[in-house]
Amino acid sequence: MNNLFVTKSENNLYKKYLKDGYIIADIKNIKSLDWIKQFYLSFIKDYFKKDFSTKDLLNNFHKLIKIKDLNSFRLKLIQEINKDKNFRKNYFNVASIFLYEIVGNELAMQNRVNLSIQLPGDKSSLLDVHADTWSGDSPFESVVWLPLVDCFKTKSMFILPALKYKKFIKLLQSSKFRNSADLFPKIKNDVKWLKINYGQILIFNQCLPHGNLVNKEKETRWSMNCRFKSIFTPYGDKKLGEFFEPISLKAASKFAMNYKLPKIK
């Protein structure tokens, strides 16, 4: 990148994203982050009809719910967060400063924010090693992964760093695998488990293999994810209007999209 045209901060993020395939950064907009967390705490209290102490409520959520009841609770919560127009706005506000520097300033945002709740020892909430591009996502997308608790070791997620990607491609070309679960043992020494505290954000390249395993820690993991891309970059199977919504289209682009060359007789 030509340093004459970017800030020092942008250049540092640019280099790190290309080198590692992800960045972890301290959130600047704490007000929006607090709004999101309060949304969850209020929902839990309404759902269980009990005024819990908010201290460590999310970390200790496994003490309130059984694994067999988790998915119905999670689906109901996902429905609620995506009904509230302010939720996506605050989610974007938490990440915007970093998205502008890594992805661009004319952005499309996934229509729905996804939620993962992983109780300790829960084998029903696993996401085997995968890359989103394997299921039709565009390589131009980046994922914003936002934790509501401190995430570490198996309470977090793993990713294959960008520097290991060529080695991974050679492995795929030289070996046969029945499924993605067979793949993880071959790359477990190359993947990196990410440590992300509450108050930090992860933006990662979803072309890189990633996933999680059984949460062997003593706390519940709460994390959200949502994809962003530059509006005018190529789309995969998930199209603008169907899966993505434009959120920061600039005036010049909007004018140009409606422009028609005048016909002269």
Q: Is residue 42 part of a domain?
A: yes
- Residue 198 belongs to some domain of the structure: yes
Average pLDDT rounded to a whole number, residues 237-247: 94
3-state secondary structure the chain: CCHHHCCHHHHHHHHHHHHHCEEEEECCCHHHHHHHHHHHHHHHHHHHCCCCCCCCCCCCHHHCCCHHHHHHHHHHHHHHHHHCHHHHHHHHHHHHHHHHHHCCCCEEEECCCEEEEECCCCCCCCCCCECHHHHCCCCCCEEEEEECCCECHHHCCEECCHHHHHHHHHHHHHCCCCCHHHHHHHHCCCCEECCECCCEEEEEECCCCEECCCCCCCCCEEEEEEEEEECCCCCCCCCECCCEEECCCCHHHHHHHCCCCCCCC
Expressed as residue numbers, the domain containing 42 is 9-231
Domain count, the chain: 1
**Inside any domain, residue 93:** yes
- Reported as a single tens digit per residue, the pLDDT across 124-150 is 888 899 999 999 999 999 999 999 999
pLDDT per position as a tens digit, 181-220: 788 999 999 999 999 999 999 999 999 999 999 999 999 9
Domain CATH for 186? 2.60.120.620
pLDDT tens, residue by residue, 36-84: 999 999 999 999 998 887 789 999 999 999 999 999 999 999 999 999 9
The reply to whether 149 falls in a domain is yes
